[in-house]
Amino acid sequence: MAIYQIYDKIFKKILTLSSTAIVNLINGLFDTHYPSDSSIAYNWTEFEDDTLRRILADTIITINGRDSYHLEAQMTQDESIIFRVFDYGYAHSLRNLEKDAFCGTLHFPEPKIIYLYTRTPAPDSYRLTLDFGTQGTFLYEVSTFKYLEISPQELTQKKMIILIPFELLKLRDAMKKERSSANLAALKNLIQNDIIGSINQNLLYGNITEDDARRLRRLTQQLYDHIYSHYEEMEELNEMTDESLLLDIDIIEKQHEKEIEKIIAEKDSVISEKDSLIFEKESALLEKDAEIALLKKQLEELMFQQAH
């Protein structure tokens, strides 16, 4: 289980990116059309099942306080996953139970199983039949999303670019088998064009924020270090990857700093203009005060002359 913790950790971090990025992901996975400024809420609550086994349902996201979606990421084929997804959905619906004196309603979240990678073919969906005896049966179906079958271009088209760090998995088996010059070149192209290029493109399109872009690069770096950096043949590519990802982050951060400096400069200019106006008004008041003092003196002299 420990071998997959890095993927689980990165997937959960991806789900904490900006609300715009998360809404785009939900729209892409479920073919919905929520506006990018829709609100999102995370259901991080821990609960216990009948055997008192703790379960952390930390991938259920609610949009606009109304519609909930359960995202379950997988690295291997798992025939029992349909039962786990149903358990999570049932526990979530219990926490949000609508009831009155005589009846209640359980609102299950809309589920999706995301296969980031699998050596054996994953099904398009899993099915679970719920038998209610004389009341009939209901077919509970959970569809799957197979990441390895999706191109970076399709991710951009569907605005699901926050999954792009897992692009590194596409060459994992090939590199494990042989670190040939062809495979090294393919990995270099995948990092520079498919991953970094896609992140830059989606940042330009407004599909992700600058902070999202920085975090995606860092997550890509973490995943790269886990999968590839330990191979002896990777020394040159490791340096290139470090420079590419870190340089790209530095560029964006410098751009961000320049924008802040520009805003500060504009504010300083406004303050300077206001200071100039204040100085001009104070100078005019001083002149008025001097004129009033002179008139007052002249009046006093005139009154003195008249008195004598």
* 234 domain residue, yes or no: yes
The C-alpha R_g of the chain, in whole angstroms, comes to 32
Contact 61, 12 (CB under 8 A): no
- Cα→Cα distances 276→16, 272, 280, 286, Å: 47, 6, 6, 15
Q: Looking at per-residue confidence, does 65 or 296 come out higher?
A: 65
Identity of the amino acid at 220 = T
pLDDT the model gives residue 55:
41
Chain centroid, CA 285 distance in Å: 56
- Contacts (Cβ under 8 Å, ≥6 apart) of 30: 69, 110, 112
Q: Look up residue 211 and give its two tokens.
A: 């902070």
* 51 — pLDDT class (breaks 50, 70, 90): very low
Q: Looking at per-residue confidence, does 209 or 3 come out higher?
A: 209
pLDDT in tens, 188-247: 899 989 999 999 999 999 999 999 998 999 999 999 888 888 887 777 777 767 666 755
Strand-pair partners of 67: 63
Strand-pair partners of 130: 138
Measured CA to CA, the distance from residue 153 to residue 159 in angstroms comes to 10
How many C-alpha atoms does 294 have within 13 Å on its Cβ side?
6
pLDDT the model gives residue 247:
52
Q: Look up residue 98 and give its two tokens.
A: 């609508």
The CA-based angle 214-222-217, given to 5 degrees, is 20
Contact 112, 30 (CB under 8 A): yes
Measured CA to CA, the distance from residue 8 to residue 221 in angstroms comes to 16
Q: Is the pTM of this model over 0.75?
A: no
pLDDT in tens, 168-204: 999 999 888 888 889 889 998 999 899 999 999 999 9
For residue 308, give its domain range. 163-308
Strands 98-99 and 104-105: antiparallel
* 86 domain residue, yes or no: no
**Total count of domains within the chain:** 1
pLDDT the model gives residue 57:
38
Q: Look up residue 144 and give its two tokens.
A: 């799957």
* 74 domain residue, yes or no: no
- Cα→Cα distances 162→23, 187, 236, Å: 11, 19, 27
* 29 domain residue, yes or no: no
* 261 domain residue, yes or no: yes
Q: What's the average model confidence in pLDDT over 132-145?
A: 96
Strand-pair partners of 41: 62
Terminal Cα-to-Cα distance of the chain (whole angstroms) = 112
Strands 54-56 and 46-48: antiparallel
Which of 55, 31, 34 minimizes the C-alpha distance to 44? 55
Q: What's the average model confidence in pLDDT over 249-254?
A: 54
Which of 207, 194, 189 minimizes the C-alpha distance to 165? 194
Residues making up the chain, counted from first to last = 308
Q: What is the mean pLDDT of the chain?
A: 83
Helices marked H in the chain — which ranges?
5-14, 19-30, 81-95, 152-157, 172-177, 181-189, 198-205, 210-227, 235-307
pLDDT the model gives residue 37:
93
* 131 domain residue, yes or no: no
Burial (Cβ within 10 Å: 0-12, 13-18, ≥19) of residue 198: buried
* 167 domain residue, yes or no: yes
Q: What's the average model confidence in pLDDT over 279-286?
A: 77
* 102 — pLDDT class (breaks 50, 70, 90): confident
Strand-pair partners of 70: 60, 111
Best-predicted range by mean pLDDT among 34-43, 47-56, 265-274?
A: 34-43
